[in-house]
Chains A and B, each alone.
Chain A
């Protein structure tokens, strides 16, 4: 694994060097004429309304949490998938015991995943995954303009 880490380290340092060298070159070559217009947020001239620092809806967090939980499962599903794949391969090569072992691991996997699906069903049933439609459709058109 040393070779892998060394490769990644070389790749990252070359990438960093490339970015820094180009930025330095640009700083040396370009003229420096700042103006108020250049400092605006949108180059097309659109005036920003309000601030970008608003509080986001809390249900983003629930969805992100759901994502992380199913993300964690890779640590358990991936080793299972490797074992299952090897067992199936061995069964195809003509080992009858491997076929029953593959079926056994599949049942174990179904139990594991079934328990997790209970939580998923709970969230679904309670409506945490339903994305509530925006209220802007219900406002009169004059209110939505400018927002």
Chain B
């Protein structure tokens, strides 16, 4: 039992317990807060593995960004203080079977890993190899320049599609008032902006 194993056990316990909390909590807000701890635990595992850039990105993107999105989603959809998620027994059964299957799969896969012989305290390669492969410098025969540029197109598609969907929903909600106010799009948009 060295320190790394102890720390991994702690992080894994926190992550797994919070994940169970996400599934078991009945309130959406509480599930979101449990998810926060799960994501932080995963970031801790990344740090423990020596992937400090991945851990930092996990903290910034998931803990900082995606959680904001989820909390906004809760604020926008939640209509009452006690909006309770009721899970049917069938759903518990299906979810349990799926989770068990995934656990068996992951456990078998990770037990079959061949150790690379590196320990977490080995010197780290740093971020520049990632950046160099992003920018098309072939170091070891792998260049990710095209995926790097494709990712930007992907992000663009996501951005435009999300904005389009959000706007479409808003218009459906406001069809009645929009007709009364005239069909001018600008007018409709102005009316919809009323803060509740």
**Which positions in A face B, CB cutoff 8 Å?**
1-2, 4-6, 8-9, 51-62, 64-69, 71-76, 78-83, 86, 104-105, 108, 111-113, 115-116, 118-120, 122-123, 126-128, 131-135
Complex-state Cα separation, A98 to B53, whole angstroms: 25
**Which positions in B face A, CB cutoff 8 Å?**
3-4, 7, 10-11, 44, 47-50, 52-53, 57, 60-61, 64-66, 68-69, 72-73, 75-81, 120-121, 124, 126-128, 130-132, 134-136, 145, 148-149, 151-153, 155-156, 158-160, 162-163, 166-167, 169-170, 189-190, 192-196
Complex-state Cα separation, A116 to B152, whole angstroms: 6
Contact A66 B159 (CB under 8 A): yes
Interface of B is mostly: helix
The distance from the CB of A56 to the nearest CB of chain B, in whole angstroms, is 5
**Closest partner residue, chain B, to A79 (CB atom):** B131
Complex-state Cα separation, A83 to B162, whole angstroms: 32
Q: Which of B53, B120, B158 contacts A78 (CB 8 A)?
A: B53
Contact A135 B158 (CB under 8 A): no
Contact B166 A61 (CB under 8 A): yes
The distance from the CB of A89 to the nearest CB of chain B, in whole angstroms, is 12
The distance from the CB of A133 to the nearest CB of chain B, in whole angstroms, is 7
**Closest partner residue, chain A, to B159 (CB atom):** A119
Cβ contacts under 8 Å, A56 to chain B: 72, 75-76, 196
Contact B50 A1 (CB under 8 A): yes
Complex-state Cα separation, A39 to B72, whole angstroms: 28
The distance from the CB of A36 to the nearest CB of chain B, in whole angstroms, is 20
Contact A61 B57 (CB under 8 A): no
Contact B121 A79 (CB under 8 A): no
**Closest partner residue, chain B, to A75 (CB atom):** B57
Cβ contacts under 8 Å, A115 to chain B: 149, 152-153, 156
**Closest partner residue, chain A, to B157 (CB atom):** A119
Complex-state Cα separation, A118 to B155, whole angstroms: 11
Cβ contacts under 8 Å, A134 to chain B: 193-195
Cβ contacts under 8 Å, B69 to chain A: 61, 64-65, 68
Contact B53 A79 (CB under 8 A): yes
